[in-house]
Structure formats: C-alpha cells, structure tokens
Structure 1
C-alpha cells in the first residue's frame, strides 16, 4: 500500500518534469523520451488510483514527500525550469536518471516485500520501463 501512495506523487513529479521539455529543449530525441515518460506514467497514475480505491483507500495526492528516493527538491525544480537548450537537456537527464532510480528502488522493495499481485505487477513494469529509459539517457549523456 505504501508503495502505491508513494509512487503516485513520484510519478506526478516525473510527468511535471516531462512537460517542461518541449518548451526548453531542441533535442528531438529528448523530446520523444519525455513524451514516452509522460505517456507511461500518466496511465500508471490512473492504475494506482484504481488499485487504492479497490483497497478502500483515498485517491492519492500529488503532494511531494521529499523523503522519497529520487524526488527533486523545489530548488532543483526551479533550476530545471530556469534552464534551456543543451544545459536543460543535460540537467533534465541527470535529474530524471536519479528520479527513475528512486522509483526502481521503491518498486524493487515492493517486489521483495509486497503481497498484492496487481501492485507487484505494476512494480515490475516500472522497473523494466524505467531501467530502459535510464540506459537510454546514460547513452545520450555520453554522446553529448
């Protein structure tokens, strides 16, 4: 349960970060990646809401808990929002790698300790998708 209530605002921040890309980056590969992040995580947020409701829990809020692995601080988000061009691209990828790694850590904990099949299935899909995106971003950073 904790996994779901933590993953919702975690995903909300990733979507917020992804929405910054089209107006700040000229890198088409990064723009496409940000769209993929948003298209993957928005439906997962709906899935989390549905699962929580099935357990009789309230709809989660997008309220950030900065104790979560990989969550960006307000200062980090402000720095990202102020950047543009290649500086933005590099900062965004570095932050999103950190953000994804935090999500993977939480998902791996759920896989090891969770007892709900739907929640564990979601955790596995998060690990798989976000690890692929981390690999892609590391490749892009090494080429820049």
Structure 2
C-alpha cells in the first residue's frame, strides 16, 4: 500500500474520531439559533475547517520561506494562501454571527488535538528541514493528503449540514481542492 494511501486512511480515521469527540464536546454548548440557518454539522465543519485551513497556510509559509523551490510549486503555495485566508475570515465571521466558539476559544477538551489538520509534528518538521526540490516534492505530497482530508470534511457537511453558504463553501472546497490535487499529482509526475 502506498504511503499516501496509508496516510490518507489514517487522516480520515482521525477526522472521524475528532468529529465524534467534537460533537460530544459540543453537546453541552448552546446550539446555533434557528434564525442562523445553521445546524451543529455546519458549526462543526466550520470549527474544524478553520484550523485545517490554517494548517495549509502554515505549510505554504514554510515552503515560501525556502529558496531553490520550483516556481510552479511556489505559485501553488501562494494560490493556496490567497484562497484559504479569506475563507478562514468568512468562517470566523459565521461562528461569531451564530454565537458559536472557535475551536481554540471555549472548546474545552478540544485543545491540543494535534494532527487534526492532517499534519503531524513530524510531517511539519520534515517540511521545515527539507530544502530546494526536496521541499517542493514533500510539500506537494503532504498537501495532497491535506486537501484529501478537506474534501472528506466538505463531503460530510454536504450530507448533514443545512446552511446554504456553508454548503456553497463545501462545494467550492471540493471542486478547487480536487483540481489542485490533480495539479499536484501532475507536478510530482513531471
């Protein structure tokens, strides 16, 4: 079995476990108001996608701090940052509008759940330690797995969520990140 397949399977399993734990943790918190149009599936998606996107931006920042990286990989990292930064701000605004906490403020029992964004500390350290073409390839391999995790999360909220804008964001994440996965696979093959 390919390493990326194993990593994706582990990330998907970890996501499922975190979702269950998150729902349990949220069971004692208030639910979004009916007027918000959001349900707890929408809230959990947004609460979990914010740190997931932040992880992608952190990975991109690490890569962008390096020299000798293929310009196409650099451009992709910049594209990821440019797309996900505004999405983070939109999701934070939704949580504020819904009166719901972000994962890092008020989600007792949810702090320190490393790896939620699909990246272990060891993965991030490997990216930080790599240089040049090796860093570019590692970034692409890790971001493929990371994007696959985001697609899984987005598919979940399409099954269970109800907020129209959250659903639209999830559809956009699936489309854009699936396209980026194909682009990254092509870059690795060349």
Decide which of 133, 136, 158 is 1:89's aligned counterpart.
136
Cα separation, 2, equivalents of 1:67 and 1:21:
19
**SS of the residue 1:30 aligns to:** helix
The match for 2:148 is 101
- RMSD of equivalent CA atoms: 1.7
The match for 2:59 is 17
The match for 1:41 is 84
Q: Which has the larger radius of gyration?
A: 2
Whether 1:65 and 2:107 are equivalent positions in the alignment is: no
Whether 1:127 and 2:174 are equivalent positions in the alignment is: yes
Cα separation, 1, equivalents of 2:161 and 2:102:
20
The match for 1:6 is 48
The match for 1:28 is 71
1:64: Cα distance to partner? 6.0
1:57: Cα distance to partner? 1.1
Q: TM-score, normalised by structure 1?
A: 0.92
Q: TM-score, normalised by structure 2?
A: 0.70
1:113: Cα distance to partner? 1.1
Mean Cα deviation higher: 113-122 or 93-102: 113-122
Question: After TM superposition, which residue ranges in structure 1, 4 or more long, deviate above 4 angstroms?
Answer: none
Is the Cα–Cα contact under 8 Å of residues 140 and 188 in structure 2 kept in the other structure? yes
1:65: Cα distance to partner? 3.0
**Relative to structure 1, is the Cα distance of residues 76 and 67 closer, same or farther in structure 2, using a 3 angstrom cutoff?**
closer
